[in-house]
Amino acid sequence: MKFHLDGKLNIKSPVDKTFASLTNPEFMVSCIPDLQSHSIQDSQHFEAKIKVGIGIVRGSVDVKFALQDSSPPGHARLVGDGSGAGSKMHIDSVFDLSPDGNGTMMTWSADSDLSGLMAGIGGPVLKGQSEKQVNQIFTNIKAKLEA
């Protein structure tokens, strides 16, 4: 099952600080909801074990992330491949940053491809749960950068 999410977020943080944070594996894992554990391989690769609960599917997913196409101070791509809870996933996300007054406007998009038990739950439920998780990640990012 494939689906697309996108949006914009205004962050009261300078572009350079926002970019540095969004391309820092330690910062990024600190923003993942339901994180059970993580490991940092290097400045562009990290792994996260994330608790999932969508419909009747419960468990955890191990995801390997890679930061790609980084172009300071305004563009990067984060790709994730994971498996667990009887499912496999691939996530390809990009963000673009631009100055917005004293802050940053972030435009982002993400394409997901899920197979296995999670894909069998159904589009509306799965997309709704994914939107909820993504919104929580961005709430965490915004709160940490504006603190």
- Residue 24 lies in domain: 2-146
pLDDT of residue 6: 94
pLDDT of residue 122: 64
The Cα 49–Cα 69 span in angstroms is: 24
pLDDT of residue 43: 95
pLDDT of residue 52: 85
Encoded tokens for 104: 């940053």
The Cα 119–Cα 85 span in angstroms is: 11
pLDDT of residue 53: 77
Number of domains the chain contains: 1
The Cα 140–Cα 80 span in angstroms is: 19
pLDDT of residue 55: 67
pLDDT of residue 123: 65
How does pLDDT run along the chain (147 residues), one tens digit per residue? 888 999 999 999 999 999 999 999 999 999 999 999 999 999 999 999 999 877 677 889 999 999 999 999 999 999 999 999 888 999 999 999 999 999 999 999 999 998 887 777 766 677 777 788 888 999 999 999 999
The Cα 19–Cα 76 span in angstroms is: 9
The Cα 94–Cα 114 span in angstroms is: 18
In terms of C-beta density within 10 A (0-12 exposed, 13-18 middle, 19 or more buried), how is residue 92 classed? Answer: middle
pLDDT of residue 129: 78
Domain harbouring 13, CATH code: 3.30.530.20
